[in-house]
Amino acid sequence: MVDLIFGLILVGVYAGAWYYFEPFKHAERFGEGGKMNFEIKKAKHMEEKLSDVKGIDEIRDEVQDLIKMIKDTKSYTSKGAKLYRGVLLSGSPGTGKTLLARAIAGESEVNFLYCTGSNFDEMFVGMGAKRVRELFAEARKNTPCIIFIDEIDSLMSKSRRFGSEHSSSRGTINQLLAEMDGFEKHEDIVVIGATNHEQDLDPAAIRPGRFDKKIHVPLPDVNGRKEILQLYLDKISLSDKVEAKKLATMTPGFSGAEIQNLVNTAITQAVHMHKEEADLADFEYARDRLMMGIERKKLTMSEKDRLNTAIHEAGHATVCFFTKGAQKLYKATIVARGGSLGATFMEPDEESMLSTTKMKCLANIDTAMGGHVAEKLFIGDKKITTGCSSDLQGATDIAYQAVMKYGMFGEELGYMSSSTEELSEEMKAKIDDKVKLILQESEVRVEKLLLDKGSEIRELAKNLYWYDYLDADEMKTIFTGKGLEKERVREWEESETKHGMVQF
């Protein structure tokens, strides 16, 4: 009994010592007494300007009006207007929300206080709320000031208030709400938050009176990508034949961060190849690297696997090329990249990034089914590979979205848009049956198409086997019955087909 009591006392001493000394391990982040050291940039040191933010012309006027209000608050308050307490920037990752916030501070000529939502997450009870108080106290010392909280969803998520998180976590968000409610007209403090997940934010936190203005920062369109590309192309050694406009059309769906990475990858590849400047081939390499992943050239693959992969990818490409509403072909390969043995890549069109149609959804389902059906027809039912799994998953996901989210089959199932958790078991069963029927009808369409285009898919599969890579123009050449003049990486052995590897 004495030993047990002594053991408990010893454990308590160790726990107390750990609790006392642990905060001092983070001395670089905290000042004396555990106070948070926030990153502050004075107005004179803010170099970013609105001219540095490219590809968001549609929200420039909105931002300029905000800058006027921050820069000359008296003109507004003297007439009864109130300074915005908070501005929420939302959008996909890499669209330039942080740069935009810095540009707002630079144009407004005010101090800039930076932190992230994770700065307020700690294991000690009450520490998060304490840091919120310290943040606003620091801002009041440096007015006029912009407080920028990056990834604010980790601080203001619904789960803090309505979920199972600890009460101290709720205390952190409550402290933030109290501080924002406590603003006075003359304090000259604006909170700018950035998030990729606006739907996850606590509605009480983003209501008017706290975050009065919401700005969605979209992915750049083709003209926006051209502006961003030109900004980065001007900073590297570049061939005269490379044009920002052409690169912009090659990169649909790319964010500003991805465009910067594209340019950097291209010039890096040029240096690796001992070139003086980056040319179009370097940008082709960079785009392939970003879209398709790393080549696994040393992966051991049998000729049988290569032939099967060629059939599979030829199925995708043939369906994509001959199906109305499908995306534009980009490239097909039987070289392993990432986790796949081969791949067929399509380019999303600008319209589909904004909205899509029932015809395009069905076309995408058919394209995804193309590999599976090609294997069944040309390799055999019993030799279908596991490479079809991700394709079937993709087709299934599109079908479920079309039924449950977009109401494209509402004449049979109604037009309500709901998540699975909100549906009855009866309705779930009806949806499952409809999705199954959509996939079965897709399989019938694809099978008919591939049988009708039997000579085209055979020729495409052979060329994929011969060359490893085929781009969109080369595939179009094959589909129109013309031969390719390229150096083959391997030869097609007719004897291979006689042993049942591929039924040609």
**β partners of residue 343:** 333
* Per-residue confidence (pLDDT) for residue 305, from 0 to 100: 83
Q: Classify strands 189-195 and 145-150 as parallel, antiparallel or unpaired.
A: parallel
* Per-residue confidence (pLDDT) for residue 323, from 0 to 100: 93
Do 180 and 210 contact (CB within 8 A), yes or no?
yes
* Per-residue confidence (pLDDT) for residue 112, from 0 to 100: 84
Q: In CATH, what is the architecture of 222-292? A: Orthogonal Bundle (1.10)
Q: Which of 329, 232, 246 is nearest to 280 (CA)?
A: 246
Handedness of CA 175, 180, 182, 186 (dihedral sign): positive
Q: Count of residues for the chain? A: 504
Instruction: From first to last of the 504 residues of the chain, give the pLDDT tens digit.
Output: 555 565 656 656 555 544 444 443 443 344 444 555 666 776 667 777 888 788 777 787 788 888 888 888 888 888 888 888 888 999 888 888 888 888 888 888 888 888 887 777 665 556 778 888 888 888 888 888 888 888 888 777 776 665 555 555 677 778 888 887 765 555 688 888 888 888 888 887 788 888 888 888 888 888 889 999 999 999 999 988 889 988 888 888 888 899 999 999 999 999 999 999 999 889 988 988 887 777 776 666 778 888 888 999 999 999 999 999 888 898 898 888 766 778 888 887 766 666 788 899 999 999 999 999 999 998 887 777 777 778 888 899 999 988 888 888 877 777 776 666 677 888 888 888 999 999 999 999 999 999 999 999 999 999 999 998 898 999 999 998 887 888 887 776 655 544 444 554
Catalytic residue ranges? 313
Q: Please report, in angstroms and rounded to a whole number, the separation of the first and last CA atoms in the chain.
A: 83
- Judge: domain 22-217, CATH 3.40.50.300: yes
| Residue-range domain boundaries for the chain | 22-217, 222-292, 303-497
Burial of 128 (0-12, 13-18, 19+ CB in 10 A): buried
**Structure token pair of residue 34:** 């555990």
What is the C-alpha to C-alpha distance for residues 112 and 300, in angstroms, rounded to an integer? 54
* Per-residue confidence (pLDDT) for residue 27, from 0 to 100: 38
* Per-residue confidence (pLDDT) for residue 21, from 0 to 100: 42
What is the C-alpha to C-alpha distance for residues 432 and 403, in angstroms, rounded to an integer? 10
Would 22-217 and 222-292 be classified into the same CATH topology? no
What is the C-alpha to C-alpha distance for residues 82 and 70, in angstroms, rounded to an integer? 11
Q: How far is CA 27 from CA 32, 37, 411, 479, in A?
A: 8, 10, 63, 66
Burial of 385 (0-12, 13-18, 19+ CB in 10 A): middle
* Per-residue confidence (pLDDT) for residue 26, from 0 to 100: 41
Q: Residues 278, 280, 286, CA angle at the centre, nearest 5°? A: 80
- Side by side, the strands of the sheet bearing 86-91 are 39-41, 111-116, 145-150, 189-195, 86-91, 213-217
Please provide the CATH number assigned to the domain covering 303-497: 1.20.58.760
Query: Where does 278-380 show beta strands of DSSP type E?
Result: 328-333, 343-347
Give the global pTM. Answer: 0.73
What is the C-alpha to C-alpha distance for residues 412 and 195, in angstroms, rounded to an integer? 38
* Per-residue confidence (pLDDT) for residue 500, from 0 to 100: 42
Q: Which of 292, 217, 286 is nearest to 256 (CA)?
A: 217
Do 470 and 332 contact (CB within 8 A), yes or no?
yes
Do 89 and 215 contact (CB within 8 A), yes or no?
yes
